Each structure stands twice: as structure tokens, then as C-alpha cells.
């Protein structure tokens, strides 16, 4: 499903170039559960952004669903993100003025799906997330765990085959974190490819495949 070949990404911080991704090679099959760990600044978030088409490599190839995405235009990447990738961020990134239901609805709206069809698809998701009675609440009226569940709902509503989570439990207490992780793993069981970037060793060890990064390089790639 994913083939990353010789990818480099360099940022200029001050006048120092930082090699955030240094010759990354990675093959990921459909349905895998991968954790990416490593110290701060090791390039794990950059890897996730690159895999999510939020960032573009300076060099190398990134094949997703049979297409090399590097030469694509930004508009083509946007369409690709919409259809193939769901994101879960540490800080949720919900739109504060929209209710839980409307936040989940957003990708469907952007995809131009009719309102009746949107409703038909959102209701079961709300039920599965346990948010039925919270559907009309704004993010500020929800707990952290509920917000992250809304974000997961939004990430999965398009049935994207690839789910990327950047520190999904970073802002949550252990119980809410556990619920969120259970939800993500349940999605993985149903066939979604799940990649989680985390500092949390316990969370990292739950994944079937653990990647460790240091200074922009993959230094370990273990399967349980």
C-alpha cells in the first residue's frame, strides 16, 4: 500500500539545515498497525506529515495506493488526502464554532456529498463513538477524550484506508487515552492501516510493528 523510497526532507532552522528525514525507505502493507517512536526532533512527526501528504519530500519517491505522490500538484494531493487519509492530531484541531456532528460532517461536505447521504453516514459513527447525546455540542463543551473521539469520527467518516495519529493520547488522562486507543485499534482490526506517532512506550509497544527514529533515520523496525 505504501512504498517510501529514499526520501529526504531538510528544514532550515535559523541558519542551520536540519535533516528531518534522511534517506527513508519504508514499505507498509494494508492493515498494518505501526507505531513510530523516538526522541523529540528525530523526524517522526515529519515522517507522519509526509505520509499524510501534508508535507512534500525534497527528494525520493512516495507511492501511495499505486501512485507516486511526489510530482503531484497541491490540488491533486488535496483530493488524494480526502479519499485515502484520515488524521488524528494531538491537539484535536476541531473547528470551535462547529458542533461535534458538523465537525465530523466536514470531510463529507468538502467531498460534495448530499446532506441526506451525510446524515445516513454520520449517525452510525456517532453511535459507535458514544457521542449520540453530544452531537450538538461545541468542542469547548466536550471533554478532551470526547474531542479526540470527534476527531477520530472525522478522520474515519470518509472510510479512508490509512489513518495517521500524531500523539493521539498526548493531551488525555490515562482512562480517556485508553478509550481512544481502543477505538483506533478497533478500526485497525476492521482493516484500516494505522500509523501512530507517540512518546508513550506502553502505547508504542501495543503496535504490531514498531519503528524507532533517531536524527531523521529509521534505526529500528521490529515486528512483534
Partner 1 sequence: MTLRDQISFSLIAITRQRFRTIMQLVAMAIGVLAVVLLTGLGEGGRQYVLTEFSSLGKDTILLLPGRKETSGGMPPLSGEGTRDITLDDATSLLRLRNVERIAPLVVGNTSISAGNRSRESLIIGTNAAFFAVRKLEVRQGKILADIPLNQTQPDCVIGAQLKHELFGPRIAIGQWLKLSQYRCRVIGILADTGTGLGINMSDALIIPVANAMQLFNTEGLFRVMIDVRSVQAIPALISNIEQQMTMLHDGQLDVTVTTPDSLLTAFDNILLVLTLAIAGIGGISLIVAGVLIMNMTVISVSQRSAEIGLLKALGASSHEVKILFITEASMLSVCGAALGLVTAEACLWLARQQFPDVPFHAPWWASVTAVGVAAGTGLLFAWLPARRAAAQAPVLALQKRGGK
Footprint of partner 1 on 19-38 (CB under 8 A): none
Pairing relationship of beta strands 16-28 and 33-37 according to DSSP bridges: unpaired
Member of 16, 96, 116, 175 binding partner 1 (CB under 8 A)? 96
Find, among 199, 166, 200, 206, the residue nearest to 185 by Cα. Answer: 206
Kindly state whether residue 107 participates in binding partner 1, applying the rule CB under 8 A. yes
User: Between 38 and 52, whose beta carbon lies closer to partner 1?
Assistant: 52
Kindly state whether residue 205 participates in binding partner 1, applying the rule CB under 8 A. no
Kindly state the smallest distance separating residue 191's Cβ from partner 1, in Å.
21
Kindly state the smallest distance separating residue 202's Cβ from partner 1, in Å.
25
Member of 13, 95, 132, 205 binding partner 1 (CB under 8 A)? 95
Footprint of partner 1 on 73-92 (CB under 8 A): 74-75, 78-79, 81-83, 87, 89, 91-92
Among left, alpha and beta (phi > 0; psi -120 to 50; other), residue 14 is left
Q: Check the CA dihedral 7-12-13-16 and report its sign.
A: positive
How far, in Å, are 2, 5, 27, 93 from residue 30 at the CA level?
A: 8, 17, 10, 27
Angle between helices 144-156 and 100-110 (to 10 degrees): 20
Kindly state whether residue 62 participates in binding partner 1, applying the rule CB under 8 A. no
CA distance between the termini of the chain = 20
Instruction: Give the footprint of partner 1 on this chain (CB under 8 A).
Output: 49, 52, 54-56, 74-75, 78-79, 81-83, 87, 89, 91-98, 102, 106-107, 109-112, 139-140, 147, 154, 158
Amino acid at each position: 500500500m505504501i512504498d517510501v523510497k529514499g526520501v529526504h526532507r531538510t528544514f532550515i532552522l535559523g541558519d542551520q539545515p536540519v535533516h528531518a528525514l534522511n534517506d527513508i525507505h519504508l514499505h507498509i502493507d494494508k492493515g498494518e498497525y505501526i507505531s513510530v517512536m523516538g526522541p523529540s526532533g528525530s523526524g517522526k512527526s515529519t515522517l507522519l506529515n509526509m505520509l499524510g501528504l501534508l508535507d512534500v519530500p525534497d527528494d525520493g519517491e512516495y507511492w501511495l495506493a499505486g501512485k507516486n505522490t511526489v510530482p503531484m500538484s497541491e490540488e491533486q494531493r488535496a483530493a488524494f488526502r480526502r479519499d485515502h487519509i484520515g488524521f488524528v492530531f494531538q491537539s484535536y484541531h476541531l473547528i470551535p464554532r462547529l458542533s461535534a456532528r458538523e465537525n465530523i460532517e466536514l470531510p463529507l461536505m468538502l467531498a460534495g456529498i448530499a446532506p441526506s447521504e451525510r446524515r445516513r453516514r454520520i449517525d452510525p459513527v456517532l453511535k459507535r463513538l458514544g457521542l449520540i447525546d453530544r452531537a450538538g455540542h461545541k468542542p469547548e463543551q466536550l471533554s478532551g477524550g470526547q474531542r479526540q473521539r470527534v476527531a477520530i469520527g472525522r478522520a474515519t467518516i470518509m472510510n479512508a484506508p490509512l489513518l495517521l495519529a500524531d500523539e493521539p493520547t498526548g493531551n488525555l488522562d490515562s482512562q480517556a487515552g485508553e478509550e481512544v486507543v481502543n477505538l483506533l485499534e478497533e478500526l485497525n482490526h476492521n482493516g484500516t492501516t494505522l500509523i501512530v506517532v507517540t512518546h508513550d512506550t506502553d502505547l508504542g509497544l501495543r503496535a504490531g510493528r514498531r519503528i524507532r527514529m533517531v536524527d531523521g533515520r529509521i534505526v529500528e523496525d521490529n515486528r512483534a
